[in-house]
Amino acid sequence: MSQLKFDLHCHSNVSDGLLPPEQVAARAHAHGVGVWALTDHDELGGVARARAAAQALGMHHVGGVEISVTWAGQTVHVVGLRVDETNPALIAGLAATRNGRERRAREIADELDKVGICGAYEGALQHVGNPDLISRTHFARHMVERGHCGDTKEVFANYLTEGKPGYVPHRWATLDEAVAWIRGAGGVAVIAHPGRYKYSPLQFGALFDQFKQLGGAAIEVTTGSHSPEQYEEYAQVARHYGFLASMGSDFHGPGESRVDLGELPPLSRGLTPVWHDWGF
Ligand code: AMP
Ligand code: MN
Ligand code: MN
Ligand code: MN
């Protein structure tokens, strides 16, 4: 088995990360990553820059994206790995998925205004690296800067999430669309951080079955968005459903993420890594 270190999930300021793609590449390389994918939310704008930076460092690179999906009323993230970032259907699909973000951001600001947090739209914009991709993370950073909360985790615990001030429901892509766009662009579809979703056991079963039927191939097992106990839990899920296993830090920026680039333990034995046939 490959001795290379894999980090197949992280973000740059082309979506809601803090660093530009070149600096994410340099940090991954400095942390010993051998095969790296930048997976910005609903955006491919950083992929060519990521590849160029990785090549200059002698690090393997695979094209990546993390697509926002609405399934059974909740948001699920589907990572695409080894996607061709020039694929027109994928590009158009992501553009459509991003489309409502601006209006949603204004609605989030209106909701925050009602609880006395004023000017949040303009404040969040100050943190945006890509005007097409204003995210809740940018609101969270603004609210930390203004002292409403101590860190972004605290913001999400008290605001911007279901039942809390500043929550605005949103309809993203469908699961069918996301998987079809990824596969159409030559990629592998991966359910990101399954441990984060609040589905019943029955719903989880239906999600995994449907994903598999659509041609989804993998789930993230070891991710910075899972607790170490969840690494084992989702290893069992991968074995049960016959999914390939992926791993990635989900790094967003220094001091903001539980796990830094390249810091995760390797996948447990008995799993087939998503990269098993990539030639590494
Ligand atoms: P959006 O795509 O605008 O809905 O924003 C989703 C992003 O918010 C995720 O990709 C995470 O980066 C961040 N996020 C969501 N929930 C949390 C949380 N509980 N703690 C920290 N960050 C979160
Ligand atoms: Mn994010
Ligand atoms: Mn995610
Ligand atoms: Mn992510």
Residue ranges of the chain assigned to CATH 3.20.20.140:
6-98+171-248
Closest approach atom of ligand 1 to CA 68: 2
How far is Cα 216 from Cα 77, in angstroms, rounded to an integer? 13
The structure tokens 């999930």 sit at 9
* pLDDT given for residue 1 in this prediction: 57
What is 101-158's CATH topology?
DNA polymerase; domain 1 (1.10.150)
* pLDDT given for residue 168 in this prediction: 98
Going edge to edge, which strands form the sheet with 35-36? 6-7, 35-36, 60-61
- The answer to whether the beta carbons of residues 152 and 52 sit under 8 Å apart is no
> Is the entire prediction scored with pTM above 0.85?
yes
Average pLDDT over residues 91-112: 97
User: 125 alpha carbon to ligand 1 midpoint, in Å?
Assistant: 16
User: 251 alpha carbon to ligand 2 midpoint, in Å?
Assistant: 9
The number of helix segments (H) and strand segments (E) in the chain equals 10, 8
How far is Cα 231 from Cα 237, in angstroms, rounded to an integer? 10
The structure tokens 């998503």 sit at 274
Q: What is the pLDDT of residues 168-226, one digit of tens each?
A: 999 999 999 999 999 999 999 999 999 999 999 999 999 999 999 999 999 999 999 99
DSSP 62-120: --EEEEEEEETTEEEEEEEES--TT-HHHHHHHHHHHTTHHHHHHHHHHHHHHTT--SH
Q: What is the pLDDT of residues 228-247, one digit of tens each?
A: 999 999 999 999 999 999 99
User: 250 alpha carbon to ligand 4 midpoint, in Å?
Assistant: 5
Paired tokens of 38: 């930048």
**Taking phi first (over 0 means left), then psi (-120 to 50 degrees means alpha), and beta for anything else, what does residue 160 get?**
left
Who contacts 13 (Cβ-Cβ below 8 Å, separation ≥6)?
19, 20, 129, 130
Q: What is the pLDDT of residues 48-74, one digit of tens each?
A: 999 999 999 999 999 999 999 999 999
Q: What is the pLDDT of residues 123-175, one digit of tens each?
A: 999 999 999 999 999 999 999 999 999 999 999 999 999 999 999 999 999 99
User: 260 alpha carbon to ligand 2 midpoint, in Å?
Assistant: 14
Ligand 1 environment, Cβ below 6 A: 16, 41, 68, 135-137, 152-153, 156, 252
For residue 250, which ligand has an atom nearest its CA? Answer: 4
For residue 137, which ligand has an atom nearest its CA? Answer: 1
137, 149, 197: which to mutate for ligand 1, most atoms within 8 A of CB?
A: 137
Residue 89 has pLDDT above 80, yes or no: yes
Closest approach atom of ligand 1 to CA 16: 12
Residue 3 pLDDT class (50, 70, 90 cuts): confident
Residue 88 has pLDDT above 60, yes or no: yes
How far is Cα 6 from Cα 267, in angstroms, rounded to an integer? 10
Residue ranges of the chain assigned to CATH 1.10.150.650:
101-158
For residue 104, which ligand has an atom nearest its CA? Answer: 1
Who contacts 255 (Cβ-Cβ below 8 Å, separation ≥6)?
none
| Average pLDDT score, the chain | 97
How far is Cα 60 from Cα 77, in angstroms, rounded to an integer? 24
What is the architecture of the domain spanning 6-98+171-248? Alpha-Beta Barrel (3.20)
The structure tokens 């996948």 sit at 267
